[in-house]
Amino acid sequence: MLDYDDLLLYWREAARTPAIAAQMSMQFDHILVDEYQDTNRLQSDILRALAPDGAGLTVVGDDAQSIYGFRAATVRNILDFPGHFSPPAMVIALEHNYRSTQPILDAANAVIARASESFAKTLTSSKPSAELPYLITVEDETAQAVFIAGQVLEQREAGIELHHQAVLFRAAHHSARLEIELARRNIPFVKYGGLKFIEAAHVKDVLAILRWAENPRDTVAGFRTLQLLPGTGPASAKKAALYLTEQCFDLGKLADFVPPAATALAWPEFCRLLKDLQNGAIAWAGQIGAVRAWYQPHLERLYDHPDARAGDLEQLEQIAIGHPSRERFLAELTLEPPGASGANAGRPHLDEDYLILSTIHSAKGQEWHAVYILNLVDGCIPSDMATGNSAQIDEERRLLYVAMTRAKEHLYLVQPIKFFRTHQHRYGNGHIFAPRSRFLSDDIMPLFTQTAAPMAVLAENTSAPQSAVSIDIGARLRGMWADL
């Protein structure tokens, strides 16, 4: 009758009864705890009740990897552990690292050394290397996606298989542009810690409308689109699809179909949108904007957190700008027929090779030969939602440390210079400039190889190799400032 939280609560209350606590404590000569940096206050109270004098109690953990504050874990448990006992608990630092090369550890040590409070330790490696971690400056998120996709393929040609490479990011939506670029290049990937961008239910909805307008014979897209309307379920959607078949798949003829009464008010506007999309009355540049405008009230009706989802759709519209037509855009997304809405990204067969995409939280405990970390700018790392106090900022610093120490041999930190500004006219091209992450201060820059990536140029827009269109980012920035 108790869930996990209840078990901990009852255990703590039992341990607060002296007779029961003594009986529990007598059963154990030693109590050993792993990953102590990820425990909460409740678990700490239980341990101290079982071993009030600390005799036989050993905890193992790394305060620099305490990153689960959103799950109520607190770094104070491990930092304050020695002082809970008299005499204080002995602290043994394990400083030899068997994963990463020394240059990677040097950079990670420098990042975590600026934490406001920690156990002093310096990681050393038995793997020497002359290759420093890379800090790559790119123009924007599109250039970031192009660079990473290209670098992943280069490493694969050099003998590092895709599943030995990983792209890490602070928040799941940070990988949206990259996912589109990987799909465009037919690079298989698996995403952990969130949905694939094009598998989110609201993104699938908008893409289903576009797919149906592009190919009215696509009954899967039509079936999903029809059920976005209030009062239209599977039976009504099937009737409308059969009617469209009788009308030779002319979406304009749907206006003559009699929908359910609950759908009647929304039906005329829906039919006008489909007709305009099919016959080209709305230019491709404005089609996603038109679909978004129609879809917004349905988004608010169908899903929780509509504002965050609307931001995803703004990003989808911005991504579409780089494609010359609706047909090309949909083809390059390589969408499969929608399954369960919002299903988790699936794992491929074990004999397939695939790139790993993961949030930093989901990557803890993992390791890869090559690691790429996205968006090394303030507002992303640290997240602008986690800078309210020094404790939050310290946890964000530990997140970067965890991400960097996942790399065994090659580490790339990527910094976009500018980000597309949402909430502007759909033909707008406004951007904001972002500063480098505060965790990468000027004094530790000698620990990195700093370079600027070429501008993002899509293959269909130029026949020249990418190296032929590389530019000096600094010169481009000076030009932008002059224009401003």
Percentage of the chain beyond pLDDT 70 is 87
Last residue of one domain, picked from the residues 92, 126, 158: 92
* 387 and 438 co-located in one domain: yes
Mean pLDDT of the chain: 85
Do 444 and 321 reside in the same domain of the chain? no
pLDDT for 429 equals 65
Are 329 and 375 found together in one domain? no
Is the pLDDT at 127 greater than 70, yes or no?
yes
Q: Is 140:416 a contact under the CB 8 Å cutoff?
A: yes
- Residue 229 falls inside a structural domain: yes
Q: Are residues 84 and 130 in the same domain?
A: no
Percent of the chain past pLDDT 90, that is, above it, reads: 54
Residue 183 lies in a domain: no
DSSP state of 389: S
Collapsing DSSP states into helix, strand and coil, what is residue 243?
Answer: helix
Q: What is the mean pLDDT of the segment spanning 436-458? A: 85
Shared-domain flag, residues 323 and 203: yes
Same-domain check for residues 128 and 69: no
pLDDT for 94-105, tens place per residue? 999 999 999 999
| Predicted local confidence at residue 322, as pLDDT | 73
Contact 76, 127 (CB under 8 A): no
Task: Note the pLDDT of residue 433.
Answer: 85
Q: How confident is the model at residue 470 (pLDDT cuts 50, 70, 90)?
A: very low
Q: Is residue 177 part of a domain?
A: no
Residue 250 shares a structural domain with residue 285: yes
Predicted pLDDT at 422: 64
Which of the four pLDDT bands, split at 50, 70 and 90, describes residue 5?
A: confident
Q: Residue 304 is part of a domain; what is its CATH number? A: 1.10.486
Cα angle 320, 325, 326; round to 5: 70
Does 109 fall in a domain?
yes
pLDDT band at 246 (very low <50, low <70, confident <90, very high): confident
Q: Does residue 381 sit in the same domain as residue 317?
A: no
Q: How many domains does the chain have?
A: 3
- Domain stops at, among 281, 304, 333: 333
> Residues 184-192: what's their mean pLDDT?
89
Same domain, 126 and 9: no
pLDDT digits (tens, 9 = 90+) for 405-435: 999 999 999 999 988 766 666 556 667 788 9
What was the pLDDT predicted at 426? Answer: 58
**What per-residue confidence (pLDDT) applies to 444?**
95
Residue 164: inside a domain, yes or no?
A: yes
DSSP letter, residue 130: S
Residue 284's SS3 state is helix
Tens digits of residue pLDDT in 293-324: 999 999 998 888 788 788 888 878 877 877 88
CATH number at residue 34: 3.40.50.300
Choose one of 92, 111, 139: the last residue of a domain.
Answer: 92
334 confidence band (pLDDT: 50, 70, 90): low
Q: Quick check: 402 pLDDT over 70?
A: yes
Same structural domain, 398 and 321:
no
Considering the domain architecture, whether residues 68 and 106 belong to the same structural domain is answered as: no
Q: Give the amino acid at 244.
A: L
Does the pLDDT of residue 482 top 90, yes or no?
A: no
What pLDDT, on the 0 to 100 scale, is given for residue 336?
39
Q: Is residue 210 part of a domain?
A: yes
Band (pLDDT 50/70/90 cuts) for residue 371 is very high
For residue 134, pLDDT beyond 70: yes
Q: What is the pLDDT of residue 195?
A: 62
- In this prediction, residues 110-119 reach a mean pLDDT of 93
Least confident of 71-75, 82-86, 424-428, 448-452: 424-428
pLDDT of residue 483: 47
pLDDT exceeds cutoff 50 at 290: yes
Higher pLDDT, 340 or 272: 272
Range of the structural domain that residue 452 is part of: 102-171+354-483
pLDDT at residue 144 in the model: 94
In three-state secondary structure terms, 140 is coil
Residue 62 lies in a domain: yes
Evaluate whether 397 touches 64 at the Cβ level (below 8 Å).
no
Residue 168: partners with Cβ closer than 8 Å, 6 or more residues away: 358, 359, 360, 363, 371, 372, 373, 374, 403, 406
Q: Are residues 203 and 329 in the same domain?
A: yes
| pLDDT over 90 at 147, yes or no | yes
Q: Is residue 220 part of a domain?
A: yes
**For position 194, what pLDDT does the model report?**
64
